[in-house]
Structure 1
Amino acid sequence: MEELRGLETFETVQEMDNATNEALTYFDLKTSERDILLKLSQYSCKFVGVSYMKVRKLAQEVKLSERTVKRALKRLSELGIITRVKQLRPVRGGWGASITVINPSHCHIELAPRPEEETPEGTSSKGASSRNETIYFKAIKIIKELRQPEGFTLDYSYLEAYGVPAHFIGTVKPFINPEEAFSLWGKVQACWKRYAPDVTDILEPAIQAFKASVTAYKFKRIKRSFGAYFWGTLRGVFTVEQRKQLSASNLLGWNWLTGD
């Protein structure tokens, strides 16, 4: 136990979450690599940043093959996002399961900053997250193709009719136009369904992610796409909220020594 405590890389879970979000935002990670990093962070709270999760258990949690998990862990290690610490068996000898340590941002972000991906998941438009957003983009297309009276201007009242919350509209209105706001709310819905299905309040996390993205834009940290950066920020915020929800429901109980 003292050995695990000695490997802690963060003082608080929030610091770990921030480092995880940085990695998700700046690196061109595959969906499997992102899911594995997020899952590791969920199981790295007892000793902050340190997980004793076995490959077999990790593969079961993210519903991937052990081979894929090992390949993803190898790449995350190469990027400096995580460190795999081999453990010697004290009785039988030989190497046991490795401990995974999530590294602080300064260990990896400076090595390979990247422009944000054009699509939310870094995949083609036929990816799962894009399919979830289809209804919103179709709605935008319909609005654009409507026969508009002379002098007509699309305003935010039309978005409320499609279920975009007034509070979200009030937050984004000074920065973006109605079509852009509608697109961002579509990302909120898609990201929520994928990463935080047990969370009931999605409005505050969405506003938090938008404000963080605006701040990043003001400090010129967004190289290409505001929408992609917003998605990455959303993913991090929703992952934290999902973990809080599961913790409150006692659904994260597991044997941290064995990973079972």
Structure 2
Amino acid sequence: MEIQAINFEELRKYESFSSVAEMDKSIYEYIEFIRFDVPQSVIDVLLYLGRASLRCVGLSFMKQATIAKGTGYSRKTINKALKMLEAFGIVDSVRTKTKAGRPSVKIMRILPFCLELLHQRVTSYQVDEANGSIGLTLIEDFEPIIYESKKHLKEEDKQAANKDNIDDMSINELDSSFIPSTIVDKDFIQTARPFFGSAKIFKLWGIVKNVMKQAKLEAVTNDVIESVKESFKTTVFMYKADRIRSSFENYFFGVLSSMLGAAKRREVMSNGEGIFYNWLEE
């Protein structure tokens, strides 16, 4: 690649940061929020892009082969890491032009840290892994109950008196008081019950347990449950504000991943096991 062929004056219009310090701050924040959720190769590639984005702050001209050589990973791993960084909204790509106006090289641009975007960009395959691709419908969208005549109901009551009803009922017909508190935290049940039925609350808790496993959190501590409740409330609010572009469970998964990641960091720091250092100068 001939660097002199690139129109740097035009290219600086795409700069995403006003200074290297500002870029470094965003990289630190990204690492803090994703390091428990992604392979180490993703962190290493982000750090490498940061070190290679100084001439035009936030913009890297490095080819995948160069990044692979510099980090020691294979081209396949580099490609996967870049795709993951782009999926999370951490980087994007820009097609540059020469001074003559002809298409030139494609560069990677590190984007300023944005927690909301990070939540929204959680990829669908992560949600599928965590929740089995289940769909959720808010309770206000449930079909209304159609009431039958009293006479018809009395006849059905007489017939029902002579048989067990449990096999004829679905889990959706059980109210939230039937959800075992030994399986689903009672505080979460109370928080979710105005919006979802029993089956949905149970499935949402499945997301919680999977994100806890991903974050290596074993116990449902007060810190964890407060993070879970806050994540749920945030998702409900954003859903009602029509700010969620994907699905309710996708957004909940993203918010929860960040919140429980922060909870894990607090746990590690409280145990004296982790001291942050300057990642960019590794």
TM range (shorter): 0.5 to 0.7
1:59-208 equivalences in 2 (<5 Å): 67=75, 70-75=78-83, 81-82=90-91, 103-105=112-114, 117=124, 121-123=126-128, 127=129, 129-130=130-131, 146-148=166-168, 153-160=173-180, 163-197=183-217, 200-201=220-221, 202-208=224-230
Distance change in 2, residues 1:78/1:164 (3 Å): closer
Task: Quote the offset at 1:252 in angstroms.
Answer: 2.4
**1:232 maps to which of 221, 245, 254:** 254
Instruction: Determine helix, strand or coil for the equivalent of 2:261.
Output: helix
For 2:269, the equivalent position in structure 1 comes to 247
1-structure distance, mates of 2:169, 2:81: 56
TM-score (norm 1): 0.53
| Larger-Rg structure | 2
Tell me the equivalent position of 2:236: 214
Please say if residues 191 and 234 of structure 1, whose CA atoms lie closer than 8 Å, have aligned partners that are also in contact.
Answer: yes
Distance (Å, rounded) in 2 between the aligned partners of 1:177 and 1:17: 37
Q: Distance in 2 between matches of 1:36 and 1:74?
A: 7
Aligned to 1:44: none
Check whether the contact 2:176–2:189 (CA below 8 A) recurs between aligned residues. yes
Identity %: 19
What TM-score, normalized by structure 2, do the two folds share? 0.50
For 2:121 and 2:167, the matched residues in 1 are separated by: 41
Q: Is the 8 A contact 1:17 1:240 kept in 2?
A: no
Amino acid at match of 1:103: P
Q: Which shifted more, 179-188 or 199-208?
A: 199-208
> Structure 1: 5+ residue runs without aligned partners?
22-30, 42-49, 84-99, 134-144
Using the TM superposition, give the Cα deviation of residue 213 of structure 1 relative to its aligned residue in structure 2, in angstroms: 0.3
Contact 1:159 1:178 in 2 (8 A): yes
Ranked by relative contact order (alpha carbons within 8 Å, sequence separation 6 or more), the top structure is 1
Shift of 1:253: 3.2
Indicate the SS of the match to 1:246. helix
Change in Cα spacing, 1:214 to 1:257, as seen in structure 2 (3 Å) is closer
Judging changes above 3 Å, is the alpha-carbon distance between structure 1 residues 181 and 34 closer, same or farther for their aligned structure 2 residues?
farther
Q: Please tell me the root mean square deviation across aligned C-alpha atoms, in Å.
A: 4.9
Indicate if the aligned counterparts of 1:115 and 1:224 stay in contact, CA closer than 8 A.
no
- In the alignment of these two chains, the number of paired residues is 189
Once the two structures are overlaid, the 10-residue window that deviates more, 180-189 or 163-172, is 163-172
Structure 2 residue runs of 5 or longer lacking an equivalent are: 1-18, 48-57, 59-66, 93-108, 135-164
